[in-house]
Amino acid sequence: MPFSIPHPADTPFVLIADDEPAVLEVLHSMARSLGWQPLLANTGTQALELFRAHFPAIECAIVDLHMPEVDGLQLLHEIRALNPETRVLLMTGDYVEADTFAGDADEPDGLLSKPFFMTDLQQALTPPRSEAA
């Protein structure tokens, strides 16, 4: 079941989708520690519903590549169709070359290899300087 914790109105939203409850719990804590308001979903379908309900406020989505129902790539395409400005990061426990998605019409904004550290997440959530300016 998707859930979130109330935060101040100026806290940026991040959508996190993973079918492993332990991963969601850890990412929830990490995202909050980094100053984000996490919206959590344990399926791609739930993630898409949350995105549709909140997408003007969601600045970034972190989605697992392999999930039931709607996988990470499908979710990436759906999010980009609704709002091309939303940053989408894929995460996976599989070995994936950094340039695997290079040149795709809907290339992700980043790839996180599980397991990852807080510093990896912080770097991935920080927009490139050209976007932050």
- Residues 117-129 pLDDT 10s: 999 999 988 876 4
Residue 132 domain flag: no
pTM of the model: 0.83
How many domains are contained in the chain?
A: 1
d(CA 133, CA 130): 6
Residue 68 domain flag: yes
Q: Domain span at residue 100?
A: 13-126
Residue 2 domain flag: no
Q: How many residues does the structure list for the chain? A: 133
pLDDT at 116 over 80: yes
Return the H-helix or E-strand segment holding 52.
helix 44-54
CATH number of the domain encompassing residue 75: 3.40.50.2300
Give the pLDDT mean for 95-109: 66
d(CA 8, CA 17): 22
Q: Residue type for 49, please?
A: E
